[in-house]
Structure 1
């Protein structure tokens, strides 16, 4: 957690994907792939006012891989040029083998 306009690596990565798929007819899967990102953070990408040696800072990825504290759900909301809204949420269940998607909810209006 930090100031709202802090340029965190995960925010920059996700923002880049949003820009790439903004005009796609179906951006849902690429956005979920971006939310599943677990690539390690390069310490040089971390803002200078954050502790670049703190493992908690370096492991802040969109998808937190941890059975106790990890990602429980991933949500994508899109709004089309016609005003249609699509809300999709995937629920994750953790076990000794990692996380697996156990459900998806979709709402369009």
Structure 2
């Protein structure tokens, strides 16, 4: 993923409500959103490295991974996508996983990782050094920089998500998909300086990136309820933003998990 905004324990129905875009080279082979046959994971799949950029489980877990934009940092180490599959298919809860990953984080390519279970959420990263941060309830954002770094497109998506919450929506995700499809570039004076040059910074500053070789491949919304029910919706795109399909999957609450709402 390259742009994420999420509401954690801030909605009366959804424990986690997340909207995000995956930007990637169009030539990189990927499988669409599906239930995996070999692991208890629901998500898209990177067919080159075998992992995922965003996945959930029907037991209520969610995991999202992004890279870190820094051309001076060599992209060496274990694939970031395996971080997500290891957490989603593993036995450790989010707290235990965060503690264990800190010891091994330096072995992976530069990453940001969000992990959620039924009770806790964590941000983990390995640049400039390994660290883990407990996520407080509220609206947060993440792109290819540190957690809650105020890049213009991250702030804009967070505002749109907050407006969605304030409007009292529950399952009308159309406003979130419109926010993810926003192609407006940030003013030059607000662009971050990540070492790629102003022209590329400008192109990458929109939520939705349209390009022949590289661009937004998927827009995704995840909603996981306090009662264990959830859904994930994925819209896919090809070169130059060509729409290629939409998938939606949902799951029911485990029979032993009671309903819980805020307020």
In which range does the TM-score fall when normalised by the shorter chain? Answer: 0.7 to 0.9
Q: Which residue of 2 aligns with 1:77?
A: 222
Q: Is the 8 A contact 2:220 2:234 kept in 1?
A: yes
Structure 2 Cα separation of the partners of residues 107 and 81 of structure 1: 18
Mapped pair 1:35 → 2:188: no
Change (3 A) 1:16 1:81: farther
Q: Which residue of 1 aligns with 2:199?
A: 55
Q: Please say which of residues 84-93 and 12-21 is displaced more in the overlay.
A: 84-93
Structure 2 Cα separation of the partners of residues 27 and 80 of structure 1: 15
Q: Is the 8 A contact 2:232 2:250 kept in 1?
A: yes
Q: Which residue of 1 aligns with 2:232?
A: 87
Q: Which residue of 2 aligns with 1:13?
A: 156
DSSP 3-state at the match of 2:189:
helix
Deviations along 1:22-73, one digit per CA (max 9) or x if unpaired, are 23123411111111111011123234xx26x611112221111101011111
DSSP 3-state at the match of 1:104:
strand
Asked which structure has the greater RCO (Cα within 8 Å, sep 6+), the reply is 2
Mapped pair 1:107 → 2:254: no
- Taking structure 1 as the reference length, the TM-score comes to 0.80
Q: Is the 8 A contact 2:184 2:207 kept in 1?
A: no
RMSD of equivalent CA atoms: 2.0
- Taking structure 2 as the reference length, the TM-score comes to 0.36
Structure 2 Cα separation of the partners of residues 83 and 19 of structure 1: 23
- After TM superposition, the runs of 4+ consecutive aligned structure 1 residues lying more than 6 A away are none
Q: Which residue of 1 aligns with 2:34?
A: none
More helix as a share of residues: 1
DSSP 3-state at the match of 2:207:
coil
Listed as ranges, the gaps of 5+ residues in structure 2 are 1-68, 70-144, 252-263
Change (3 A) 1:84 1:20: farther
Q: Is the 8 A contact 2:152 2:190 kept in 1?
A: yes
Listed as ranges, the gaps of 5+ residues in structure 1 are none
Structure 2 Cα separation of the partners of residues 43 and 91 of structure 1: 29
More strand as a share of residues: 2
Q: Is the 8 A contact 1:21 1:27 kept in 2?
A: no
